[in-house]
Amino acid sequence: MAMMLRVLVGAVVALAWLLVLGRIWISWVDPTRRSRVARFLFSGTEPVIARVRRALPPTGMFDFSSLLVLVVLGIIWRALL
């Protein structure tokens, strides 16, 4: 049972990591969020990234919140392996 829960949590973390990575990539390709995929990625990841963005000090035009979320998700994912 514990192993199954670990695998499930690992899959959710991996999916979240891929969604954040997709958001980063799509922000370079479609920064206006006109496509359905861009809107899906931004709406799916914005609740988490907005909280991190509010907690970080302002860094001008650079937004490191997505990178920080990727790092934390990666650490959690590796801890589950």
Q: What span, in angstroms and rounded, lies between the C-alpha atoms of 41 and 55?
A: 21
- Whole-prediction pTM value? 0.85
pLDDT, one tens digit for every residue, the chain (81 residues): 888 999 999 999 999 999 999 999 998 998 888 999 999 999 999 999 999 999 999 888 888 999 999 999 999 999 987
Helix H, strand E, coil C: the string for 31-62 is: CCCCCHHHHHHHHHHHHHHHHHHHHCCCCCCC
CB 73 within 8 A of CB 18: no
Domain boundaries, the chain: 2-80
